[in-house]
Structure 1
Amino acid sequence: MRSVTSFLLLVLLLVGLASATIHFQETFEDGWKDKWVVSKWKQDEGTAGKFAHTAGKWYGDAENKGIQTSQDARFYAISAKFPAFSNEGKDLVVQYTVKNENKVDCGGSYIKLLPATVDQENFNGDSEYNIMFGPDVCGAQKRIHVIFNYKGKNYLIKKEINKVETDQLTHQYTLIVKPDNTYKVLVDNKEAQSGSLAEDWEMLAPKTIKDPNASKPEDWVNDKEIDDPEDVKPENYDDIPATIVDPDATKPDDWNEEDDGEWEAPVIANPEFKGAWKAKKIPNPAYKGEWVHPLVDNPEYQDDKNLYLYKNIGAVGFELWQVKSGSIFDNILIADSEEDATAFSEKNFESIQEGEKKMFEEIEEKRKAEEKQKLEDEKKKQEEAAAAEKEQHSDHEHSEADEEQELIKTQTGNKDEVKPPKAAKKVDHDEL
């Protein structure tokens, strides 16, 4: 019996693997341009950026190239089509890698899953899409977008996904949408978020709403505490002044009333003063608690078991604005199997991580050493310039002194010994 059960499980596994489909994969090898169309968007305005085909400045494999944004403060739009499909009844996996070589400080690095009807030559920020997914950074705000188009309107995930990698190495982002209306977001194959499409997006109207026919009763008591009616203000409480004359102050010995006026001692805060009197608070016996608006079923709510479903997926693209360029996109996979995504990741992403990191660290170490040497050379250059200027100034002073001595010799006719002239006698005005 066990052997039969094991055989059936094996058959089901094989059938499942056989039915798995990779709809699109791209590692940007030779010939990649034949599949991709660069949009004309923003070209007339001169703000359309160009993609470069490169592995970047550091890499785990020089042949593992992607497309890189190459110009700062530019719009980028590029897309590729594939045979249209529906994800009905199947998982939908969207996966790709991005490396921000220049540390993006404001710009998107997300991918868009597009309907087959997309106009590739005019693909732009207003073009309809099915899903927008990936990191977006602008200043201190860093988040992973997951936006679904539902009945013609785009809905952003309510949860925060802050697992945005901001170093300069390659990172992989994976979105898995399941036919039971659940999802997972992975970053470098580790789960960053998961949940329900119905709960984490506002695609559906809320199940319940505040009862429009209910309102807080007019006699509802909101105050938790009241003044203690037995607490009475003490007699003469209001007679206590806020300030008093400083008892330690004395008139200065040099005070002159004719010049300084009548002396008055300064005032200080009265330690006996307690401020305006307030009665003590006690629990309000009439308090009923915070009034809660009762909820009723929302007549506009309608469940949808197909929130996950897109019937005409046929393209993928990048539509971006980047202040600082240098992002390399690569290793794109659109499939219906997590196993295929894992295998694709192992081959094209995980295999390069260690080598890329090692090369990056070597380049960084060299860069820091060069910067340090540059600073030391600049400091040495400044010190040498300062020393040369000081020496030049000293030589100039000696030269002026020699010229003065020669002039005195010429005027006195004494070429053997020259004495400095005597100071002129000071003459008082009375002697003139």
Structure 2
Amino acid sequence: MKFQTLLALGACAALSNAQAGDEDLAEEVESVVLGGASSASSVASAATEAVKISRPSFTPTTLKAPFLEQFTNDWDSRWRVSHAKKEKTEEEWQYVGTWNVEEPTELKGIDGDKGLVLKDKAAHHAISAKFNKPIDTKGKTLVVQYETKFQGGLECGGAYMKLLQENAALKTDEFSNASPYIIMFGPDKCGSTNKVHFIFRHKNPKTGEYEEKHLKSAPMARIGRTTSLYTLIVKPDQTFQIKIDGEPIRNGSLLEEFTPAVNPEKEIEDPDDKKPEDWVDEAKITDPESKKPEDWDEDAPYEIVDEEATKPADWLDEEPTMIPDPEAQKPEDWDDEEDGDWQAPMVPNPKCEEAAGCGPWEKPMKPNPAYKGKWTAPLIDNPLYKGIWKPKKIANPGYFEDKTPGNFEPIGAIGFELWTMQNDILFDNIYIGHSIEDAEKLQKETFDVKTKIEKQEEEASKPPEPERPKSPMDLKFMDDPVHYIKEKSELFFTIAKNDPIAAVRFVPEIAGALGVALVSILVLFFGLIGGSGAAPSKEQVKAKATEAKAKAAEAKDKVAESVASGAETAQEEVKKRTTRSSAAQS
């Protein structure tokens, strides 16, 4: 390979001397090569230069709401970490997970913008904040919005919030899974389960008992490195909307999209009703008047011997189907006295694979045309059939109709009660209020700004994609002359080993360079032989120089044309071959 490369470079050097007659052209080529390398180096340097991203500084919003949290320096005056024990479980777990308010460690976004961060893996965390006064939703729109960021990813865990029911016993430092809540909303993922929860607890007006209502067909959460924004809107007309990153993804009615349904059925099946003993459930019965035909032979076999079959001519009766493996060798550590006589393992007889078969031949079996199987009487409609029995319907004693389930009971606090296998989950910019417009303004001030920066940071931090190696057919001389000559030379000599004509056709630029080099060497050789006579006159030297210069210029043009069109010529040839191949296949 080195010889091929050196030969190609030598040919080009000889060509340069023949074309120019002095060192000017060599210096020009050297300048082009070095200039190309310098250009490539500068491009690579520009590609690896760190992207400068402008980050604004955090400024608290001026918006007001019943509860709006941006985790400013006084956050700990509102939030309380719970150290209660988890109740109503097989084992009692204490909330030992730690929390901190800090700037993001991944994709920073806005300078000075802090959030509440869940810090421990595989631990139970609980934290809550009580509202200055309870939030009443009766006849009002409820808007719940917050940001979450999975800085370490999320394989199994939740990032949902709970809006806690206002009551006299509400103590945030004792917040646990048993604390009564009104709404649970937010992302949850573990394994193949991936959803955005929307659950609300509804009070039965008759019994006073609470029941969880779960959204059917919950949307999928968006799990990524950048911040996500989750928004829940519940309107006075009892409709709801869920948005992720400001994009609506789920709409519906509180009265229709939840299970169990808010309102029970007006009628229910009578639990005391019993099926009559004479009730006939069978729709079909066997025909009692049907009889087995006299010619029905239940004993006829399913298959019989094919008496018309004949043994194939190439059947090998004397050959066994299995033979000792002729290539097997007795292991070196085999001891005949302890292990017994060694026998080669059996393998299929290769002769049997080439023939129709081996060993004693027997006539094959074929389906029995007289086979009918076990006779059974056909089925007919049951004249006594009464249909499928169902208990009768009675008025539901527990029926009620709540037309406004969105009039939730007063909400007194917000809490995060979570268990997760990943840490560094960040929460920020929590809005709980009644204004859709204000929630959207907060989104524009915070989420829209930071996610734009985060995406720039994420893109800048990606490792550069490896450049796909170019085929020798795609190379261009001016991009990298040395690499071009090396690759083209290797391609030329590889093809020439099998088909010299094809090598000339596919890589004409190398063939042309070698041809010009050969001509130059011959001219030089014969010039030396001819130089053994009398010394030429000054006029003859001048004429020869002019003639050599003209020939060199002509050769230079031909080689340049060959270099420029070589790849196109080869690609056209490949296209022709592909077309012929496609035509032959069709």
TM-score, reference length from structure 2: 0.51
Task: Summarize the Cα distance change of 1:212–1:74 in structure 2 as closer, same or farther, 3 Å threshold.
Answer: closer
The Cα RMSD (Å) is 3.6
Q: Which protein has greater RCO, CA pairs closer than 8 Å, 6+ apart?
A: 1
- Give the alignment of 1:56-95 within 5 angstroms: 56-85=105-134, 86-95=136-145
- The equivalent residue for 2:69 is 26
- Aligned-pair CA distance for 1:354: 2.6
Of 374, 391, 405 in structure 2, the residue corresponding to residue 276 of structure 1 is 374
- Give the alignment of 1:391-410 within 5 angstroms: none
Partner amino acid, structure 2, of 1:317:
G
Of 171, 186, 189 in structure 2, the residue corresponding to residue 137 of structure 1 is 189
- Contact 1:142 1:164 survives alignment (8 Å): yes
2:415, 2:123 → 1: CA distance? Answer: 16
1:228, 1:168 → 2: CA distance? Answer: 70
- Contact 1:181 1:198 survives alignment (8 Å): no
- Give the alignment of 1:228-243 within 5 angstroms: 233-234=292-293, 235-243=295-303
2:95, 2:242 → 1: CA distance? Answer: 36
Partner amino acid, structure 1, of 2:195:
R
Deviates more, 1:114-123 or 1:97-106: 114-123
Please list every run of 5 or more consecutive structure 1 residues that lacks an aligned counterpart in the other structure: 1-19, 256-262, 370-432
2:132, 2:147 → 1: CA distance? Answer: 22
- Aligned-pair CA distance for 1:220: 5.3
Deviates more, 1:28-37 or 1:96-105: 28-37
- 1:183-208 per-residue CA deviation (whole Å, 9 max, x = no partner) reads 33222331324212476243544332
Q: Which has the larger radius of gyration?
A: 2
1:278, 1:340 → 2: CA distance? Answer: 77
Partner amino acid, structure 2, of 1:270:
P
- Give the alignment of 1:144-183 within 5 angstroms: 144-151=196-203, 153-183=210-240
- The equivalent residue for 2:270 is 211
- Aligned-pair CA distance for 1:124: 1.7
- 1:1-48 per-residue CA deviation (whole Å, 9 max, x = no partner) reads xxxxxxxxxxxxxxxxxxx97210112233323321112246996842
1:232, 1:361 → 2: CA distance? Answer: 81
SS at match of 2:442: helix
- Contact 1:21 1:335 survives alignment (8 Å): no
Deviates more, 1:132-141 or 1:221-230: 221-230
Task: Summarize the Cα distance change of 1:82–1:39 in structure 2 as closer, same or farther, 3 Å threshold.
Answer: same
1:147, 1:298 → 2: CA distance? Answer: 26
Task: Summarize the Cα distance change of 1:354–1:219 in structure 2 as closer, same or farther, 3 Å threshold.
Answer: farther
Task: Summarize the Cα distance change of 1:21–1:353 in structure 2 as closer, same or farther, 3 Å threshold.
Answer: closer
- Contact 1:49 1:70 survives alignment (8 Å): yes
- The equivalent residue for 1:299 is 397
Task: Summarize the Cα distance change of 1:363–1:222 in structure 2 as closer, same or farther, 3 Å threshold.
Answer: farther
Partner amino acid, structure 1, of 2:410:
N
- The equivalent residue for 2:147 is 97
1:232, 1:141 → 2: CA distance? Answer: 58
- The equivalent residue for 2:250 is 192
- The equivalent residue for 2:431 is 333
- Give the alignment of 1:253-292 within 5 angstroms: 253-254=317-318, 268=365, 270-272=367-369, 273-279=371-377, 290-291=388-389
- Contact 1:84 1:312 survives alignment (8 Å): no
- Aligned-pair CA distance for 1:314: 2.0
- Aligned-pair CA distance for 1:170: 1.8
Task: Summarize the Cα distance change of 1:294–1:165 in structure 2 as closer, same or farther, 3 Å threshold.
Answer: farther
- Contact 2:163 2:414 survives alignment (8 Å): yes
- The equivalent residue for 1:36 is 79
Task: Summarize the Cα distance change of 1:74–1:42 in structure 2 as closer, same or farther, 3 Å threshold.
Answer: farther
2:219, 2:175 → 1: CA distance? Answer: 28
Task: Summarize the Cα distance change of 1:47–1:40 in structure 2 as closer, same or farther, 3 Å threshold.
Answer: closer
Partner amino acid, structure 2, of 1:353:
T
State yes or no: 1:49 paired with 2:98: yes
SS at match of 2:181: coil
1:245, 1:159 → 2: CA distance? Answer: 62
Please list every run of 5 or more consecutive structure 2 residues that lacks an aligned counterpart in the other structure: 1-62, 87-92, 204-208, 320-359, 467-586
State yes or no: 1:244 paired with 2:244: no
2:290, 2:108 → 1: CA distance? Answer: 78
Q: Name the one with the larger helix percent.
A: 2
TM-score, reference length from structure 1: 0.67
1:195, 1:156 → 2: CA distance? Answer: 12
- Contact 2:187 2:197 survives alignment (8 Å): yes
- Give the alignment of 1:388-427 within 5 angstroms: none
1:105, 1:123 → 2: CA distance? Answer: 26
Percent identical across equivalent pairs? 35
Task: Summarize the Cα distance change of 1:115–1:300 in structure 2 as closer, same or farther, 3 Å threshold.
Answer: closer
Task: Summarize the Cα distance change of 1:45–1:296 in structure 2 as closer, same or farther, 3 Å threshold.
Answer: closer
- The equivalent residue for 2:5 is none
Q: Name the one with the larger strand percent.
A: 1
- Contact 2:80 2:127 survives alignment (8 Å): yes
- Give the alignment of 1:313-352 within 5 angstroms: 313-352=411-450
- Contact 1:198 1:307 survives alignment (8 Å): no
- Aligned-pair CA distance for 1:113: 0.7
1:99, 1:302 → 2: CA distance? Answer: 42
Partner amino acid, structure 2, of 1:25:
L
- Aligned-pair CA distance for 1:347: 2.1
Partner amino acid, structure 1, of 2:217:
E
- 1:152-182 per-residue CA deviation (whole Å, 9 max, x = no partner) reads 6350415120321122322222222334444
SS at match of 2:454: helix
Task: Summarize the Cα distance change of 1:28–1:301 in structure 2 as closer, same or farther, 3 Å threshold.
Answer: same
- Aligned-pair CA distance for 1:93: 1.6
